[in-house]
Amino acid sequence: MDFAKLAGYFTLDTLTQIAFGQALGFLTKNEDLYDYHKSSAAFYPIMELGSNHPTVLAVLKSRVMEGAAPKPTDKLGFGAIIGVAHKVAAERFGPDAKKVQDMLGSFVNHGLTQQECEVESLIQILAGADSTATALRTTLLYILTSPPTYSRLREEMTLAIEAGKVDYPVISNSQAQALPYLQACIKEGLRMFMPLHGLAGRVSPYPDGATINGVFIPPGTEVGLSNFAMNYRTDFYGPDADTFHPERWIENDAETVKRYERTQELIFGTG
Protein backbone atom coordinates (compact mmCIF):
# COMPACT_ATOMS: atom_id res chain seq x y z
CA MET A 1 0.00 0.00 0.00
CA ASP A 2 1.31 3.43 -0.96
CA PHE A 3 0.11 5.56 1.95
CA ALA A 4 1.48 8.76 0.40
CA LYS A 5 -0.85 8.26 -2.56
CA LEU A 6 -3.81 7.26 -0.37
CA ALA A 7 -3.34 10.35 1.81
CA GLY A 8 -3.80 12.50 -1.28
CA TYR A 9 -6.91 10.55 -2.28
CA PHE A 10 -8.29 10.87 1.26
CA THR A 11 -7.88 14.65 1.48
CA LEU A 12 -9.38 15.23 -1.97
CA ASP A 13 -12.42 13.10 -1.18
CA THR A 14 -12.83 14.71 2.24
CA LEU A 15 -12.56 18.26 0.93
CA THR A 16 -14.90 17.67 -2.01
CA GLN A 17 -17.38 16.07 0.40
CA ILE A 18 -17.22 19.19 2.56
CA ALA A 19 -17.21 21.62 -0.36
CA PHE A 20 -19.69 20.00 -2.76
CA GLY A 21 -21.63 17.60 -0.56
CA GLN A 22 -20.21 14.62 -2.44
CA ALA A 23 -16.78 13.01 -2.63
CA LEU A 24 -15.29 12.66 -6.10
CA GLY A 25 -14.42 9.02 -5.45
CA PHE A 26 -10.61 8.88 -5.40
CA LEU A 27 -10.64 6.38 -2.51
CA THR A 28 -13.47 4.15 -3.68
CA LYS A 29 -11.98 3.86 -7.16
CA ASN A 30 -8.42 3.84 -5.79
CA GLU A 31 -7.06 5.77 -8.73
CA ASP A 32 -5.85 9.24 -9.67
CA LEU A 33 -9.05 10.58 -11.19
CA TYR A 34 -8.54 13.15 -13.96
CA ASP A 35 -4.77 12.63 -13.50
CA TYR A 36 -5.13 15.31 -10.84
CA HIS A 37 -2.12 14.28 -8.74
CA LYS A 38 0.08 13.71 -11.75
CA SER A 39 -0.64 17.14 -13.25
CA SER A 40 -0.51 18.90 -9.87
CA ALA A 41 2.88 17.40 -9.05
CA ALA A 42 4.21 18.83 -12.31
CA PHE A 43 2.71 22.28 -11.65
CA TYR A 44 3.47 22.81 -7.95
CA PRO A 45 7.17 23.72 -8.45
CA ILE A 46 6.09 26.45 -10.88
CA MET A 47 3.41 27.69 -8.50
CA GLU A 48 5.90 27.75 -5.62
CA LEU A 49 8.36 29.70 -7.73
CA GLY A 50 5.66 32.19 -8.66
CA SER A 51 4.59 32.66 -5.04
CA ASN A 52 8.15 33.61 -4.05
CA HIS A 53 9.20 35.67 -7.07
CA PRO A 54 6.94 38.56 -8.23
CA THR A 55 8.47 38.60 -11.71
CA VAL A 56 7.64 34.93 -12.27
CA LEU A 57 4.12 35.52 -10.93
CA ALA A 58 3.65 38.44 -13.32
CA VAL A 59 4.60 36.19 -16.25
CA LEU A 60 2.20 33.46 -15.10
CA LYS A 61 -0.65 36.00 -14.88
CA SER A 62 0.15 37.65 -18.22
CA ARG A 63 -1.97 37.35 -21.35
CA VAL A 64 0.78 35.24 -22.90
CA MET A 65 -0.01 32.42 -20.44
CA GLU A 66 -3.81 32.59 -20.69
CA GLY A 67 -3.96 29.72 -23.16
CA ALA A 68 -2.04 27.45 -20.78
CA ALA A 69 -4.34 28.08 -17.80
CA PRO A 70 -6.66 25.24 -16.69
CA LYS A 71 -10.16 25.44 -18.20
CA PRO A 72 -13.44 23.86 -17.03
CA THR A 73 -13.68 22.05 -20.36
CA ASP A 74 -10.44 20.13 -19.70
CA LYS A 75 -10.80 16.38 -19.31
CA LEU A 76 -7.70 16.02 -17.13
CA GLY A 77 -5.86 17.93 -14.41
CA PHE A 78 -7.11 20.82 -12.31
CA GLY A 79 -9.25 22.05 -15.20
CA ALA A 80 -11.42 18.94 -14.82
CA ILE A 81 -11.93 19.76 -11.12
CA ILE A 82 -12.90 23.32 -12.14
CA GLY A 83 -15.49 21.78 -14.45
CA VAL A 84 -16.92 19.74 -11.56
CA ALA A 85 -17.08 22.87 -9.37
CA HIS A 86 -18.88 24.82 -12.09
CA LYS A 87 -21.39 22.01 -12.59
CA VAL A 88 -22.16 21.59 -8.89
CA ALA A 89 -22.40 25.37 -8.33
CA ALA A 90 -24.81 25.71 -11.27
CA GLU A 91 -27.09 23.15 -9.59
CA ARG A 92 -27.43 25.46 -6.55
CA PHE A 93 -28.84 28.39 -8.56
CA GLY A 94 -31.92 28.89 -10.70
CA PRO A 95 -35.56 27.87 -10.25
CA ASP A 96 -34.75 24.23 -9.40
CA ALA A 97 -31.81 24.99 -7.15
CA LYS A 98 -30.66 22.22 -4.83
CA LYS A 99 -30.47 22.90 -1.10
CA VAL A 100 -27.59 21.02 0.51
CA GLN A 101 -25.97 21.54 3.92
CA ASP A 102 -22.34 21.82 2.87
CA MET A 103 -19.84 24.63 2.40
CA LEU A 104 -21.27 25.50 -1.01
CA GLY A 105 -24.72 25.66 0.54
CA SER A 106 -23.37 27.98 3.23
CA PHE A 107 -21.87 30.26 0.56
CA VAL A 108 -25.24 30.43 -1.20
CA ASN A 109 -27.07 31.15 2.06
CA HIS A 110 -24.68 34.02 2.76
CA GLY A 111 -25.43 35.70 -0.55
CA LEU A 112 -22.44 34.76 -2.70
CA THR A 113 -22.99 34.78 -6.45
CA GLN A 114 -22.62 31.65 -8.57
CA GLN A 115 -19.17 32.74 -9.76
CA GLU A 116 -18.05 33.54 -6.22
CA CYS A 117 -19.25 30.10 -5.09
CA GLU A 118 -17.22 28.45 -7.84
CA VAL A 119 -14.08 30.30 -6.81
CA GLU A 120 -14.49 29.74 -3.06
CA SER A 121 -15.13 26.01 -3.53
CA LEU A 122 -12.02 25.64 -5.68
CA ILE A 123 -9.89 27.54 -3.17
CA GLN A 124 -10.80 24.97 -0.51
CA ILE A 125 -9.42 22.21 -2.72
CA LEU A 126 -6.38 24.03 -4.10
CA ALA A 127 -5.36 25.38 -0.68
CA GLY A 128 -6.21 22.32 1.39
CA ALA A 129 -5.84 19.04 -0.45
CA ASP A 130 -2.10 18.73 -1.04
CA SER A 131 -1.05 20.64 2.10
CA THR A 132 -3.24 18.45 4.33
CA ALA A 133 -1.97 15.29 2.63
CA THR A 134 1.60 16.48 3.17
CA ALA A 135 0.91 17.03 6.87
CA LEU A 136 -0.54 13.51 7.19
CA ARG A 137 2.38 11.90 5.36
CA THR A 138 5.18 13.63 7.21
CA THR A 139 3.65 13.51 10.70
CA LEU A 140 2.96 9.79 10.41
CA LEU A 141 6.49 9.26 9.09
CA TYR A 142 7.96 10.99 12.14
CA ILE A 143 5.74 8.95 14.49
CA LEU A 144 6.49 5.60 12.85
CA THR A 145 10.24 6.21 12.79
CA SER A 146 10.30 7.13 16.50
CA PRO A 147 9.51 3.93 18.48
CA PRO A 148 9.14 5.73 21.86
CA THR A 149 6.68 8.20 20.31
CA TYR A 150 4.73 5.44 18.57
CA SER A 151 4.49 3.37 21.76
CA ARG A 152 3.35 6.28 23.92
CA LEU A 153 0.76 7.43 21.38
CA ARG A 154 -0.59 3.90 20.93
CA GLU A 155 -0.88 3.50 24.69
CA GLU A 156 -2.79 6.79 25.05
CA MET A 157 -5.23 5.82 22.29
CA THR A 158 -5.71 2.24 23.58
CA LEU A 159 -6.50 3.45 27.10
CA ALA A 160 -8.93 6.04 25.74
CA ILE A 161 -10.76 3.40 23.69
CA GLU A 162 -10.93 0.96 26.61
CA ALA A 163 -12.27 3.72 28.87
CA GLY A 164 -14.96 4.61 26.34
CA LYS A 165 -13.61 8.14 25.94
CA VAL A 166 -13.32 7.93 22.16
CA ASP A 167 -15.30 6.30 19.37
CA TYR A 168 -13.75 3.47 17.41
CA PRO A 169 -12.77 3.13 14.59
CA VAL A 170 -13.59 6.77 13.73
CA ILE A 171 -12.75 9.32 16.41
CA SER A 172 -14.54 12.68 16.57
CA ASN A 173 -12.65 15.97 16.50
CA SER A 174 -13.64 16.88 20.06
CA GLN A 175 -12.45 13.48 21.31
CA ALA A 176 -9.14 13.85 19.47
CA GLN A 177 -8.68 17.30 21.01
CA ALA A 178 -8.92 15.68 24.45
CA LEU A 179 -5.91 13.39 23.83
CA PRO A 180 -2.89 15.49 24.86
CA TYR A 181 -0.15 13.31 23.38
CA LEU A 182 -1.95 12.97 20.07
CA GLN A 183 -2.23 16.76 19.90
CA ALA A 184 1.45 17.08 20.80
CA CYS A 185 2.39 14.73 17.94
CA ILE A 186 0.28 16.72 15.48
CA LYS A 187 1.78 20.05 16.55
CA GLU A 188 5.32 18.71 16.50
CA GLY A 189 4.79 17.10 13.10
CA LEU A 190 3.58 20.39 11.64
CA ARG A 191 6.52 22.20 13.23
CA MET A 192 9.09 19.78 11.87
CA PHE A 193 7.77 19.71 8.32
CA MET A 194 5.29 22.49 7.66
CA PRO A 195 3.12 21.73 4.60
CA LEU A 196 3.60 25.21 3.11
CA HIS A 197 7.15 26.47 2.54
CA GLY A 198 6.48 29.73 0.70
CA LEU A 199 7.85 33.02 1.99
CA ALA A 200 4.42 34.11 3.32
CA GLY A 201 4.89 37.75 2.35
CA ARG A 202 3.55 40.60 4.47
CA VAL A 203 3.05 44.10 3.06
CA SER A 204 3.92 47.11 5.21
CA PRO A 205 0.74 49.18 5.67
CA TYR A 206 -0.04 52.55 4.09
CA PRO A 207 0.50 55.37 4.76
CA ASP A 208 2.87 55.14 7.73
CA GLY A 209 4.69 51.87 7.16
CA ALA A 210 5.75 49.81 10.16
CA THR A 211 8.65 49.56 12.58
CA ILE A 212 9.63 46.01 13.57
CA ASN A 213 12.31 45.50 16.20
CA GLY A 214 13.57 49.03 15.56
CA VAL A 215 13.74 48.60 11.77
CA PHE A 216 11.48 50.86 9.68
CA ILE A 217 9.67 49.12 6.81
CA PRO A 218 8.44 51.68 4.23
CA PRO A 219 4.76 51.45 3.25
CA GLY A 220 4.04 49.02 0.43
CA THR A 221 7.21 46.99 1.04
CA GLU A 222 6.67 43.23 1.02
CA VAL A 223 8.68 41.26 3.55
CA GLY A 224 9.05 37.50 3.23
CA LEU A 225 8.91 35.18 6.23
CA SER A 226 10.58 31.78 6.40
CA ASN A 227 8.33 29.51 8.45
CA PHE A 228 10.96 26.79 8.28
CA ALA A 229 13.61 29.00 9.89
CA MET A 230 11.20 30.29 12.54
CA ASN A 231 10.11 26.80 13.58
CA TYR A 232 13.69 25.55 13.91
CA ARG A 233 14.94 28.40 16.10
CA THR A 234 16.87 27.06 19.05
CA ASP A 235 16.14 30.20 21.09
CA PHE A 236 12.42 29.33 20.86
CA TYR A 237 12.37 25.54 20.98
CA GLY A 238 15.66 24.75 22.68
CA PRO A 239 18.86 23.01 21.50
CA ASP A 240 16.87 20.03 20.17
CA ALA A 241 14.80 22.18 17.79
CA ASP A 242 15.80 19.97 14.86
CA THR A 243 14.53 16.82 16.63
CA PHE A 244 11.01 15.38 16.58
CA HIS A 245 10.11 15.60 20.27
CA PRO A 246 6.34 15.85 20.98
CA GLU A 247 6.99 15.94 24.72
CA ARG A 248 8.04 19.58 24.42
CA TRP A 249 4.33 20.48 24.01
CA ILE A 250 3.18 18.84 27.24
CA GLU A 251 6.19 18.90 29.58
CA ASN A 252 6.87 22.65 29.53
CA ASP A 253 4.99 25.33 31.44
CA ALA A 254 1.90 26.97 29.94
CA GLU A 255 3.69 30.20 29.03
CA THR A 256 6.41 28.34 27.09
CA VAL A 257 3.86 26.19 25.24
CA LYS A 258 1.89 29.31 24.33
CA ARG A 259 5.08 30.80 22.83
CA TYR A 260 5.58 27.59 20.88
CA GLU A 261 2.03 27.78 19.56
CA ARG A 262 2.33 31.41 18.50
CA THR A 263 5.42 30.56 16.49
CA GLN A 264 4.04 27.34 15.03
CA GLU A 265 0.82 29.12 13.95
CA LEU A 266 2.88 31.09 11.44
CA ILE A 267 2.53 28.00 9.24
CA PHE A 268 -1.07 29.00 8.62
CA GLY A 269 -0.47 32.73 8.28
CA THR A 270 -1.32 33.71 11.87
CA GLY A 271 0.85 33.72 14.97
pLDDT digits (tens, 9 = 90+) for 84-121: 889 989 999 988 888 888 888 899 999 999 999 988 88
Distance CA 38, CA 36 (A): 6
The one-character DSSP state at 83 is H
pLDDT digits (tens, 9 = 90+) for 148-192: 999 999 999 999 999 999 998 899 999 999 999 999 999 999 999
Distance CA 160, CA 178 (A): 10
Mean pLDDT of 35-47: 84
- Which range among 29-33, 59-63, 202-206, 263-267 shows the weakest confidence by mean pLDDT? 59-63
pLDDT at 177: 95
Q: Is 178 helix (H, G, I), strand (E, B) or coil?
A: coil
Q: Quick one: how far is CA 108 from the chain centroid?
A: 24
Q: Are 249 and 257 in contact (CB under 8 A)?
A: yes
Q: Are 153 and 185 in contact (CB under 8 A)?
A: yes
pTM, two decimals, is 0.85
Helix (H) or strand (E) holding 211: strand 210-212
Residue 217's beta-bridge partner residues? 210
pLDDT at 131: 87
pLDDT at 25: 93
pLDDT digits (tens, 9 = 90+) for 222-238: 888 888 899 999 998 99
Residue 142's beta-bridge partner residues? none
Residue count (the chain): 271
Distances (CA, A) of 12 to 26, 101, 125, 254: 7, 19, 7, 36
Taking all residues of the chain, what is their mean pLDDT, rounded to a whole number?
Answer: 89
pLDDT at 268: 80
